[in-house]
Amino acid sequence: MAAHSGDSTTKSPDLFKEILNKYVDEEGAVLPILKEMQEEYGYIPPDTLTPIADFLRLSPSQVYAVLSFYNEFTTEPPGQTVVHVCNGPACRIRGGLKVERAVRRALGIQPGETTSDGQFSLKTSACLGLCAHAPAIQVNHDLLGEVTLAKVQKVLQGQDIEDIRADGSH
């Protein structure tokens, strides 16, 4: 069950046009366009590479070269739930690696991958700004601190983040 079809330009052509139109006459705008695409769609749909290249009067391989240079870009649609495990120093010291390992094992995927049913993606991220409550993770847009293996389990069972925070048990 994929969360996204991978053909987002046909699903939301207006959004795609809107993004491109912000950069009319800006030939060097490949990076900001890719950043906006990643933010809006959660990935860079592969079918957008040629239109982006045409728009910027570049070759698709030039656009792809930029895309593949930066880890933040992906051409794979994200899962319905994206789990970011913080790998900043405070989290690493306070068990972040164990958290990452637990998520990897439970889902059977590596950072940067999505489960075959499209339910979960795993990413690692720089400091999430929750160092005082390390180790921290971000589940879609929600931050969760003082993460334990029990909390990881609850997240992966689909429990609401608010409930997990309120529960407070380890």
E-state strands within 45-148: 81-86, 120-125, 137-139, 142-144
Applying CB under 6 A, among 56, 67, 88, 103 the residue interacting with ligand FES is 88
Residue 36 or 100 with smaller CB distance to ligand FES: 100
Range in contact with ligand FES (rule: CB under 6 A) among 49-57, 110-118, 131-139, 152-160:
131-139
- The answer to whether the beta carbons of residues 125 and 107 sit under 8 Å apart is no
Is residue 89 within the footprint of ligand FES (CB under 6 A)? yes
In the complex, minimum distance from the CB of residue 166 to ligand FES, in angstroms, rounded to a whole number = 21
Residue 34 found at the interface with ligand FES (CB under 6 A): no
- Cβ proximity to ligand FES: between 49 and 144 the closer is 144
Q: What is the Cα 41 distance to its own chain's centre?
A: 10
Q: Which stretch binds ligand FES (CB under 6 A): 23-31, 54-62, 77-85, 124-132?
A: 124-132
Q: Are strands 81-86 and 137-139 parallel, antiparallel or unpaired?
A: antiparallel
Can you give the binding site for ligand FES, defined by CB under 6 A? 86, 88-91, 127-131, 134, 136
